[in-house]
A = this chain, B = another copy of it.
Amino acid sequence: MIKIPDNQVAGHQAGDGKLGPLVDGLGRFYKPLQSDERGTNEVAFYSSLSSNTRIPGHICRFFPVFHGTQLLEASDGSGLLPHLVLQDLVSSRLNPSIMDIKIGARTWPAQASEDYIAKCLERDRKSTSVSLGFLITGFQMYGSKESGFWKPHKKFFKGFSADDVRLVLRKFVSSNASGDFDVDPDCAFASVVYGGSNGILAQLLDLKAWFEDQTLFHFYSCSVLVIYEKELALDGSSCGAEVKLVDFAHVVEGKGVIDHNFLGGLCSLIKFISEILTTPDKCQTEVRIQDSENNPFSSGNGADG
């Protein structure tokens, strides 16, 4: 029953003899334990999270449930390997649309090695991590029974500008989404997915309030998953919009200081999503015009003349 997950949108993926996560189709997700300190660190994080009574219930829901570790035949055929046993976040979903967004301008903890820091810094400066405080690392979008899923290759995300990120966050909640950048996204599902009292924005704001206060953990290189179901969204009622946090191999102790790096990136993402809700009909071209008007160092004359 153990198989390669259908709905993974970023990270190491099993298949073609490679090592990656597995699922059992019964609600459990098996993530191979990285053999270095990253593996130990992620187990330590999940263990401390499970036993920590200071984390409020409405925050616990953002994390996958942890079921310990288990030896399992690795997906690359290398034999038995320890795996984290986690809740499969999408096992109960029919055709989930999912986006993986790595949060934080800085992906390295202060105590990392010089080599690791240099490598991260170079990557983060080339991506939108440093400029926007977050990075879209992958997504899949359900189209229809006929078209199935649109799941761009990771090359698609290379060299993204702020405008590309704006556009993709709009496409993600549009009924006419495709890889064609000339088609203006209609943002048909924006109000039900991003908006509303149980929508993505409300959940991100709930998470933000916790990050303004919590000093237990600093989350480096951790991702927010944004999940919804298009078929439910078409029904018009609930779309199953859900925010989850994943990837804790680089979590370190907060030592009484808030995670200002994660919080800053989260606030930046919140601002991008808020703008879609306040101007859902803005197409890409209009967004670009608005940008040039927003240049604070230019005189305002151009707008009048």
What separation, in Å, do the CA atoms of A261 and B265 have in the docked complex?
8
Chain B residues near A121 (CB, 8 Å)?
121
Contact A260 B296, CB 8 Å, known A110-B125, A215-B271, A271-B213: no
Contact A296 B254, CB 8 Å, known A213-B271, A260-B133, A261-B105: yes
Contact A212 B267, CB 8 Å, known A105-B260, A131-B110: yes
For A108, the closest partner residue in chain B by CB is B130
CB neighbors of B among A257-290 (8 A): 257-258, 260-261, 263-265, 267-268, 270-271, 290
Chain B residues near A131 (CB, 8 Å)?
110, 257
Q: Does A52 sit within 8 A of B, measured CB to CB? A: yes
Residue of B110, B255, B267 touching A258 (CB-CB under 8 A)? B267
For A53, the closest partner residue in chain B by CB is B300
Q: Does A294 sit within 8 A of B, measured CB to CB? A: yes
What separation, in Å, do the CA atoms of A53 and B300 have in the docked complex?
10
Chain B residues near A255 (CB, 8 Å)?
162, 291, 294-295
Q: Does A48 sit within 8 A of B, measured CB to CB? A: yes
Interface residues on A, range: 35 or more
Q: Is the CB of B253 within 8 A of A297?
A: yes
Q: What 0/1 pattern do residues 95 to 139 of A give for CB contact below 8 A with B?
A: 000000000011000100000000001000100001111000000
Q: Is the CB of A256 within 8 A of B162?
A: yes
Closest CB-CB distance, A252 to chain B, in whole Å? 9
What separation, in Å, do the CA atoms of A297 and B268 have in the docked complex?
29
Q: Does A246 sit within 8 A of B, measured CB to CB? A: no
Chain B residues near A162 (CB, 8 Å)?
255-257
Q: Is the CB of A217 within 8 A of B296?
A: yes
Q: What 0/1 pattern do residues 228 to 268 of A give for CB contact below 8 A with B?
A: 00000000000000000000000001111110110111011
Q: Is the CB of B132 within 8 A of A257?
A: yes
10 pairs across A/B with beta carbons < 8 Å?
A: A105-B106, A106-B106, A106-B130, A133-B260, A253-B295, A255-B295, A256-B291, A260-B264, A260-B267, A264-B264
What are the nearest 7 A-B pairs in CB distance?
Answer: A264-B264, A260-B264, A133-B260, A216-B296, A260-B268, A258-B271, A48-B296
By a beta-carbon cutoff of 8 Å, the part of chain A in contact with chain B is: 44, 48, 51-53, 105-106, 110, 121, 125, 130-133, 162, 212-213, 215-217, 253-258, 260-261, 263-265, 267-268, 270-271, 290-291, 294-297, 299-300
20 extra interchain contacts, Cβ-Cβ under 8 A, other than A105-B260, A212-B271?
A: A48-B296, A48-B297, A51-B299, A53-B300, A105-B106, A106-B106, A121-B121, A133-B261, A212-B267, A213-B271, A216-B294, A216-B296, A253-B295, A253-B296, A255-B295, A256-B291, A257-B268, A257-B271, A258-B268, A264-B264
